Amino acid sequence: MSKPLRIGIAGLGTVGAGVVKILAARGDYLAAACGRAIELVAVSARNTNKDRGIDLSGVRWESDPMALARADDIDLVAELIGGSEGVARELVEAALKAGKHVVTANKALLAHHGTALARIAEEKGVALNYEAAVAGGIPIVKTMRESLAGNEIRSIHGILNGTCNYILTEMETTGRDFADVLKDAQALGYAEADPTFDVGGIDAAHKLAILASLAFGTEVDFANVHIEGIEKISATDIAFAREFGFKVKLLAIAEKANGGVVQRVHPALVPEGTPLAAVSGVYNAVAVDGDRVGHLVLEGRGAGEGPTASAVLSDLADIARGLIVPPFILPAKKLKAPAKAAMDTHKSSFYLRFLAVDRAGSMAEITRALAQASVSIERIVQRGAPVGKGGDGRLPVVFITHETDEGTMARVRALLADHEDVAGTPLVIRIEDGELR
């Protein structure tokens, strides 16, 4: 058997501790499967006294994580600290430059600096693996790198944030509103005290930028991801969606369009009975459309100790076996500069909700304004008693449009926001029913 793969782990939070547990429980199996042992040599964490439920006897503690990058007895650094800058970035760069393999679960780091880090890894002939950075325990990176190599990828549709999916699922099943369910998610540990990265769509966008690079051979391009969160989705929207035969999901979508790639994260109405509509709770899913394989859906737990640590071990096992590949499939020097397709050209049907003034002729005025903007209405639903008192009453109204483009809907939204018969700014949700069926 070959000499062990000697590793150092930076960060002993939920994921780091989970990796140590798997190494302890499955070490003999991994050694037999990989042809060499995976040996934990050193760890670095801020709190040396915390009880993590793991045995670290015989393992060296380093107060400075950068020591892992400098150590002669470490072949691989597992960066499980997190964050796009600071010590996480410094450690990964230093380890790669020192000729050490790196395994990371850090989607923010890769979304912002993935291409540059890939260049360093390839120059040094070492691995930069990150299965755990996207969709937790779902092996989507390995699937893209290996199983789908014979395919031209046409699109990716993903539910990539378990916090958002949990909140939307709870809103659907209980009828409660966003703010109320968010508090429960925070109490259960599904959402952070500051949930902005999750509910604002940023976490999903980090993951989408990585997947888009893998799918389309482009440099990682987080800066050009269109991002909308779920903060404005109400129980009313969830109920209307159900009536129309849809569920509301936060989707992360990357697809070729007009000579470029559109990357977008936003709430969407997804047809009931489709695979992504059925994904509930904290689960994630990724749907890939390839020209040879067709429509492929992978679903599983997107976070947590077990799934994420399992993904880290997958990367460790590949490196122990000697499988060293370019991080983003193509060599970094061959990754294309991203050509951003204009979001305005994207077409779909739309869900449009607003409050209309409760007076004779107001709906006629509103529909006339939409017709003048070249928006065709498939369905109008007016539900419930007027909101407000006396002559100030407002009626909740929902329009479902026929297919139109983003630019047109942006103009319609602005037009209605200024319309005398409309109160407030209308809510617009895209309807995604093409590639998902």
* Residue 224 in domain: yes
Q: What is the CATH number of the domain that holds 392?
A: 3.30.70.260
**Using the 8-state DSSP alphabet, how is residue 28 labeled?**
H
Bridge partner residues of 285 (DSSP): 159, 299
- Judge if 98 and 238 occupy the same domain: no
The pLDDT score that the predictor gives to residue 254 is 95
Examine the domain organization and report whether 120 and 10 are in the same domain: yes
Cα atoms in the 13 Å half-sphere on the side-chain side of 424: 14
- pLDDT tens by residue, 95-133: 999 999 999 999 999 999 999 999 999 999 999 999 999
- pLDDT, one tens digit per residue, over 279-335 is 999 999 999 999 999 999 999 998 888 999 999 999 999 999 999 999 999 999 999
Please indicate, yes or no, whether residues 192 and 289 belong to a single structural domain of this protein.
yes
pTM confidence score: 0.93
For residue 197, give every residue at least 6 positions away whose Cβ sits within 8 Å of its Cβ, in sequence order, or none. Answer: 203
Q: Where are any strands of DSSP class E within 36-100?
A: 38-44, 60-61, 76-79
130 or 424, which is more confident: 130
> CB-hemisphere CA count at 13 Å for 182?
18
**CB atoms inside a 10 Å sphere around CB 84:** 16
Q: Which two tokens stand for residue 259?
A: 């000579």
Which of 133, 155, 181 is a domain's end point? 133
* pLDDT given at position 55: 85
Shared domain check, 258 and 166 = yes
Q: Which residues 6+ apart lie within 8 Å of 44 measured at CB?
A: 8, 9, 10, 11, 61, 62, 63, 64, 65, 67, 68
Do the Cβ atoms of 388 and 430 come closer than 8 Å? no
Strand pairing partners for 270? 247
As for how many domains the chain has, the answer is 3
- With cut-offs at 50, 70 and 90, classify the pLDDT of residue 391: very low
Range of the domain at 32: 5-133
Query: In sequence order, which residues have a C-beta less than 8 Å from that of residue 245 and are 6 or more positions away?
Result: 271, 272
HEC-encoded secondary structure of 153-210: EEEEEEECCHHHHHHHHHHHHHCCCHHHHHHHHHHCCCCCCCCHHHHCCHHHHHHHHH
Is residue 106 in a domain?
A: yes
CATH code where residue 108 lies: 3.40.50.720
Cα gap 201→222, rounded to integer Å: 12
Residue 400 shares a structural domain with residue 286: no
Q: Residue 131: what are its φ and ψ, rounded to 5°?
A: -55, -40
Residue 320 lies in a domain: no
C-beta neighbour count of 429 within 10 angstroms = 23
Provide the annotated active-site residues: 207
What is the Cα–Cα distance from 335 to 3, expressed in whole angstroms?
Answer: 34
Contact call for residues 203 and 136 (beta carbons, < 8 A): no
